[in-house]
Amino acid sequence: MTDYFSVKNPATGDLIQEVKINTEEEINLALKKGHDSFKKWSKINAHERSRLLQKWSKKINENKEEIAKVMTMENGKPLSESLGEVDYSTSYIDWYAEEAKRIYGRTIPANTESKRILVTKQPIGLVAAITPWNFPAAMMARKAAPALAAGCTFIVKPAVETPLTTIKFIELAHEAGIPEGVIQYVNGRGSMIGDLFSNSDYVRKITFTGSTPVGKELIRNSADTIKHVTMELGGHAPLIVAADADIDYAVKQTVGTKFRNAGQTCVCANRLIVHESILDEFTEKFVAEVKKLKVGNGLDEGTTVGPIINEKGFNKIVAQIKDAKEKGAEVVLGDKYDANQEKGYFFVHPTVLKNVNTDMIIMHEETFGPVAPITSFKTIEEAVELANSTPYGLAAYFFTTDYRTGTYLHDHLDFGIIGWNDGGPSAAHAPFGGMKESGLGREGGIEGIEPYLETKYMSIGGI
Ligand code: SIN
């Protein structure tokens, strides 16, 4: 009997589509197909792989409106953000279409006259990816593009909440001429597919974007077959506003980073740490700007904050706000909800909390929701200590017009991505990734293709 799971619109709870759950046998066959296809794909000329990636990017662009609409329906994000995500995704494909042609080796001067040492790179093999619901297109594209550019084959399991965007992307890859065995998708329960991926001898690399606990499990399960791993895991981004910051500018950038995708990103500012001398002014201006946001169905004109993806996510946000209030936080804005458990939609209105302290859960755990807790600091050293007091190390932001404060913060913050007067540092040409429990490896930039390559050297003797 064929099993299906339902993809529902988180803004309305309405059914969008039933998606077939792949059986264990089908998944193992797909892994074999990916493995078998590697022999041919890895030998295709890099310029030809580059051309195919360019064709894929073009096809996605031609279908941009349709893809964005599907993405908004399954994820809930405003249509403008979905359109932006399609562009963000193709920027990775375009970047790696170019990088495919720049997989260089080198020669090393040997220690005797009679030898030469030659270093070359080769693709590692079949790559298995597990991607999240918060960026259904971009997280897949920034894994698939470098994998294919390097000469690897690729199989992805998208999130059960948002498989439709991924399916469309992969259909377009096939239409662009990328062979079916080279890029594939499978659908089903994460733990079952994660186990099949990590136990398979065909898979040489696992790349995952998602929670830290799942990432740790995938790393553990990949140990027996010594797979390569890239892990983009949780975050708990601090955002520091120094006394000398341009406050109006900082407010606008903070709203951008905090409420993107209704706060459901790993790089969202999660803790606003503001100098005590400007705390009142910043809070007042921030609240005025947040009030302009419009909560609603992402397909409706003017919506800037969509729904929370599911009830579990909603309950976590509500519990964090409740805990903060019980421990003394003051609600300056929000703490308002529009939820219907029976229909299956859950909205949280943008919420601003002040007087928060480190006893509160929100100061330690990722919120993944439109909630901005504000605390203050006296000295920059104190701000750094607070910012770094987390096992996470993905993104951090700070606003200052003083280059000494800026350089100090850059040097002392233990985070892989830093935005200095920049609430949107993500870019295809930059190495996205985290320190500590936020992950392993980097995606994007020249660094992003390396994890898909093996280094090999040959010593030539008797010359
Ligand atoms: C994420 O939050 O998972 C990715 C966000 C980005 O690429 O900017």
pLDDT of 183 > 90? The answer is yes
| Amino acid 1: pLDDT | 73
What is the structure's pLDDT at 269?
Answer: 98
Residue pair 324/361 in contact by the 8 Å Cβ criterion: yes
Output the 3-class SS for 378-422: CCHHHHHHHHHCCCEECEEEEECCCHHHHHHHHHHCCCCEEEECC
For residues 386-410, give the mean pLDDT. Answer: 98
What pLDDT score was predicted for residue 387?
98
Instruction: Enter the DSSP assignment of 291.
Output: T
Tens digits of residue pLDDT in 210-257: 999 999 999 999 999 999 999 999 999 999 999 999 999 999 999 999
Nearest CA to ligand 1 atom 6: 426
CA of 2 to the centre of ligand 1 (A): 34
d(CA 417, ligand 1 centre) in Å: 11
268 CA: nearest ligand 1 atom? 2
Cα of 443 to ligand 1 centre, how many Å? 11
Angle, CA 186 vertex, CA 182 and CA 192 arms, to 5°: 130
Provide the pLDDT confidence category of residue 172 given band limits of 50, 70 and 90.
Answer: very high
Q: Which atom of ligand 1 is nearest to the CA of 426?
A: 8
Is 209 close to ligand 1, i.e. is its CB under 6 Å away?
yes
Task: Tell me, yes or no, if the two domains 4-233+438-460 and 237-427 fold the same way.
Answer: no
CATH architecture of 237-427: 3-Layer(aba) Sandwich (3.40)
Residue from 89, 142, 266, 268 to probe ligand 1 pocket by mutation (most atoms less than 8 Å from CB): 266
* pLDDT of 422 over the 90 cut: yes
Comparing CA positions, the residue from 207, 212, 90, 179 lying closest to residue 449 is 207
**Which of 87, 135, 142, 257 to probe ligand 1 with, by most ligand atoms within 8 A of CB?**
135
Phi, psi at residue 393, to the nearest 5°? -155, 45
> Which residue reads 């400007």 in tokens?
278
What is the spatial distance between Cα 200 and Cα 222, in angstroms, rounded to a whole number?
9
- Identify the CATH number of the domain defined by range 4-233+438-460: 3.40.605.10
What residue segments make up the domains of the chain, in order of their start?
Answer: 4-233+438-460, 237-427
Query: Per residue in 318-367, pLDDT tens?
Result: 999 999 999 999 999 999 999 999 999 999 999 999 999 999 999 999 99
304 lines ligand 1 (CB under 6 A): no
Q: Which residues are catalytic, by number?
A: 232, 266
Model confidence over 80-105: pLDDT tens digits?
Answer: 999 999 999 999 999 999 999 999 99
Q: Rounded to the nearest whole angstrom, what is the distance from the C-alpha of residue 265 to the centroid of ligand 1? A: 6
Residue 2 has a pLDDT of 85
Radius of gyration, CA atoms only, the chain: 23
The pLDDT value recorded for residue 9 is: 98
Q: What's the mean pLDDT when you consider all of the chain?
A: 98
Residue 88 CB–ligand 1 contact under 6 Å? no
